[in-house]
Amino acid sequence: MDCVFCRIARGEVQARTVLQDEHLIAFDDIHPAAPVHVLIVPRKHLANLSAAREEDALLLGRMLLAARDVARARGIEEPGYRVVMNAGEHGGQEVFHCHLHVLGGRPLGRILPAR
């Protein structure tokens, strides 16, 4: 398998690691969309959220808690941050290995219009 995120998780490709454990790795995005832009990638290869199964629920929860930890470590927990997961081509996914984006460090604005 030549998945770049799998290769990063195995240490075959260098990345600026923010945190890691036996389940996931978090590293700086090489094309940041905000002053803080960290990717959280499970070590287990899942193409995207649609490929996740019930047994992946704990792993997905760990990813969200890692997003919180990244925000704290990078000093963006207050005033706030965004967590995004794209799924599929129409969802904007570019690397087909499930991952979260943690974005912050500036006002990001609304995704959807206010009601």
Please give the positions annotated as active site.
Answer: 99
Q: Are 28 and 16 in contact (CB under 8 A)?
A: yes
CA distances from 10 to 5, 31, 81, 89 (A): 9, 21, 28, 25
User: How many other C-beta atoms are found inside a 10 Å radius of the C-beta of residue 24?
Assistant: 20
Smallest CA-to-CA distance from 26 within 1, 75, 62 is with: 62
